[in-house]
Amino acid sequence: MKQVGDWLLKNDRGIFMLGLIGLLAILGTISLDIYNLDFEESSDEEKHYIIVAPANTTFRDITWKVAELVAIPITLVIIAYFINKRQQADEQKRRDNAEKITHTQTEEATLQNYFDRMTELLLDRGLRQSEPYSEVRNLARSQTLTTIRALSGKRKISILHFLRETDLIKLEPNIIDLSRADFTEADLKEATLSQLDLGRVRLSGTDLHRATLTETNLVKAELLMVDLTKANLTKADLRSALLRQATLIETNLTKANLAGADLREVNLKGANLTDAILDETKLTEAKYDHRTRWPSGFVPERAGAIMANERYV
């Protein structure tokens, strides 16, 4: 019985075919009942039976009888169909929840294994005192990048915070090179990431609202469509960084080095670029307003920037 139920759960056609078979059986019964069929013996020499139907049967009688008897099985088939769909949805939900739990447990185990491994490299292998390009540094970098790729969401951020707190990604000395590390679309709101080496790191789509990145190395970092609203990037090194379509509303870029950076289509309303270096910076279609502060003598229109309509400020 359980096998039949499982088969019906996985096959919509099963419900339909059983309903159709039941309907045909009921129609056969209806026919016999409508006509009140009976059998009489013929008077011929060769004995056989003939079907006799009452003469007063009308089309209206047939119609009402069919309607009465067909309504119930059709209703049952429809109810069975929707029950089946609900069971399928519940089963899919259970599978999704089980997969989510399994995925979470796998990521937690991966993260804990990383912390254990890095602790070993720090305490037993002298990672902090190691020389550049040494085996232990290469091992630490490989372990870090591999783990970041295997994780998602806030667990990636846990690694970033771990590296910051253990002084492994400071500007000087920089122990672990995070080039090409993928933190895409991470939530780093209000994060403190000052004086860190994040050169060539992938941060596109990241939420860095009100984050602090003073004097941070972001050379050639990927910051496409990043949200840096009200973030502090004072003296940050953003040479050749990709910031296209980024949100830099009221962002502090005082004395930031933006030489060769791609700031096309960014929102610079209210941003502070006082004393910022803008040599060969791409500003095509970048929007700014009357609150935006530029380096002394800099003419934004010549670089392709557009003064925003005051109605939308």
pLDDT of residue 81: 75
Give the integer Cα–Cα distance in Å for 180 and 141. Answer: 11
- The answer to whether the bond into 295 is cis (omega within 30° of 0) is no
pLDDT at 135 over 90: yes
Least confident of 30-34, 183-187, 223-227: 30-34
- What's the angle, vertex CA 217, arms to CA 211 and CA 221, rounded to 5? 85
Phi, psi of 283 (to 5 degrees): -125, 20
218 and 312 in a common domain = yes
Query: Is residue 54 a part of any domain in this protein?
Result: yes
Average pLDDT value for residue range 35-43: 48
Query: Is residue 191 a part of any domain in this protein?
Result: yes
Number of domains composing the chain: 2
Average pLDDT, the chain: 84
CATH number at residue 235: 2.160.20.80
300 and 215 in a common domain = yes
CA dihedral in degrees (81, 87, 91, 93; nearest 10)? 100
296 and 211 in a common domain = yes
Query: Is residue 113 a part of any domain in this protein?
Result: no
Give the integer Cα–Cα distance in Å for 285 and 43. Answer: 103
186 and 55 in a common domain = no
pLDDT at 179 over 90: yes
Percentage above 90 pLDDT, the chain: 62
Q: Which residue has the higher pLDDT, 281 or 94?
A: 281
Q: Which domain holds residue 308?
A: 178-313
Give the integer Cα–Cα distance in Å for 175 and 163. Answer: 10
Among residues 83, 107, 131, the one where a domain terminates is 107
Give the model confidence (pLDDT) of 262-273 as tens digits.
999 999 999 999
Average pLDDT value for residue range 198-203: 97
pLDDT of residue 3: 53
Give the model confidence (pLDDT) of 51-77 as tens digits.
444 555 555 665 666 666 666 667 777
Query: Is residue 79 a part of any domain in this protein?
Result: yes
pLDDT class for 205, splitting at 50, 70, 90?
A: very high
Query: Is residue 259 a part of any domain in this protein?
Result: yes
Q: Which residue has the higher pLDDT, 16 or 198?
A: 198
Query: Is residue 209 a part of any domain in this protein?
Result: yes
pLDDT class for 8, splitting at 50, 70, 90?
A: very low
Phi, psi of 215 (to 5 degrees): 60, 20
Q: Do 159 and 176 meet the contact criterion of CB atoms below 8 Å apart?
A: no
Among residues 59, 76, 107, the one where a domain terminates is 107
282 and 182 in a common domain = yes
- Of 270, 277, 275, whose CA–CA distance to 251 is shortest? 270
Give the model confidence (pLDDT) of 138-166 as tens digits.
999 999 999 999 998 788 999 999 999 99
Q: Which residue has the higher pLDDT, 79 or 244?
A: 244
Query: Is residue 144 a part of any domain in this protein?
Result: no
Average pLDDT value for residue range 219-225: 98
Kindly state the greatest CA–CA separation across the chain: 125
Query: Is residue 95 a part of any domain in this protein?
Result: yes
pLDDT at 114 over 70: yes
Average pLDDT value for residue range 31-35: 51
Average pLDDT value for residue range 106-125: 95
Percentage above 70 pLDDT, the chain: 75
pLDDT at 312 over 60: no
pLDDT of residue 88: 81
Least confident of 15-29, 59-73, 230-244: 15-29
Average pLDDT value for residue range 239-267: 98
189 and 99 in a common domain = no
Paired sense of beta strands 49-52 and 38-41, if any: antiparallel
pLDDT class for 94, splitting at 50, 70, 90?
A: confident
